[in-house]
Every structure is written in C-alpha cells, then in structure tokens.
C-alpha cells in the first residue's frame, strides 16, 4: 500500500485495519454501554499507559456519568524483547479502589500476561467491581483469566499501530489503526 499520509513517511503500511470513522462510532457505542453498565456507585477508569492514552481520552468523553480517572504504568519486558515474567508497577495509582467500580482500560490484549497480573493486584484492593475495557482483542490471550467485559474490536494477529498503538514509540498519534507490513 502506498503511504499518502505524511505521518507514515518511511513506514511500510500493509493496510488500514480500522478507519477513523469506524473507531469513532465504536468508541461512542462503548461509552453508551459503559454508562448503562454502571448506573450507580463510584466509577474509576484506570488506564494502562502508554497505549491507552488516545482511546481513554475519547472513551471517557462518551461515558455520560460521573467518573474519576487514574493511570497505571507496568513493565514486564525491561530491556529485553521477551517478557521477564515479572510485572513491575512503575506507577501505581494513588486513588483508593476500595468499594469503587474499577474499569481497567487497555489498548490491546495480546498474551494477557501483564494484564492478568495487574487484575490480580487490583482485585486484592477490594473494588466493588473490576472489569476490563480493551480497544482491541487479538483473541490469543493464554495468560488472562478474566474475560474483557467491553471490547472495541476483535483484531487480526498482526502488528498494529495508530490510535495509541506504537512501534518504537512512533505512530500513536494516527487517527486510525494500520497493520505494518
């Protein structure tokens, strides 16, 4: 595919997987679904950085009820290209989870290992409820023992960039999701 988008200069894109209008419509629907799922109680939307930043920003504006926002930063790779098997929280939310509905927002579910460990850690903090909202689910997670409650799209098992997803910290700013060749 040729790259008419100057933001993709020097990058070989295979195809656009989810176009901007498709993402906008799906995020709006997810916001409506989340609003309906949490009619009462305190709602904390907890984003896993960095990938969730674009998705979370758009999503919370579509949730039509009071909520709080906080973030987590976790690492399981260090400087390696494969997981070390140890998940470390580099930033742990200061917000108490006790008695709150906690919705963890993730950009993409792959193996599910890091997210699975995070869900166990968060469950121990006694939230009223604990659920996952993922923009993309590749449906290959073998390490996640909690089914995501809200999923934007089932994604192909390809390397995806855009709308928060990166390659070497690039391409997060794209308004669509593309597959790299």
CA distance linking residue 139 with residue 137, whole number of Å: 5
Active site residue 110: yes
CA distance linking residue 116 with residue 122, whole number of Å: 10
DSSP H helical ranges for the chain: 20-37, 53-60, 113-123
Residue of 58, 107, 110, 137 marked catalytic: 110
Nearest to 166, CA basis, from 72, 2, 53: 53
Catalytic positions are: 110
């Amino acid at each position: 595919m040729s790259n008419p988008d100057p933001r993709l200069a020097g990058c070989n894109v295979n195809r656009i997987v989810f176009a901007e209008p498709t993402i906008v419509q799906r995020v709006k629907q997810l916001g409506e679904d989340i609003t309906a799922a949490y009619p009462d109680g305190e709602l904390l939307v907890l984003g896993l950085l960095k990938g969730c930043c674009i998705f979370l920003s758009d999503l919370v504006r579509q949730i039509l009820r009071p909520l709080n926002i906080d973030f987590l930063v976790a690492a399981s790779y260090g400087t390696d290209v494969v997981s070390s098997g140890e998940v470390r929280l580099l930033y742990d939310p200061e917000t108490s989870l006790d008695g709150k509905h906690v919705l963890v927002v993730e950009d993409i579910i792959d193996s599910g290992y890091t997210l699975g460990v995070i869900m166990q850690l968060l469950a121990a903090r006694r939230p009223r409820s604990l659920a996952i909202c993922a923009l993309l689910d590749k449906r290959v997670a073998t390490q996640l023992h909690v089914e995501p409650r809200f999923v934007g799209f089932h994604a192909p098992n390809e390397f995806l960039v855009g709308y928060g997803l990166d390659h070497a910290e690039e391409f997060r700013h794209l308004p669509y999701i593309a597959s790299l060749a």
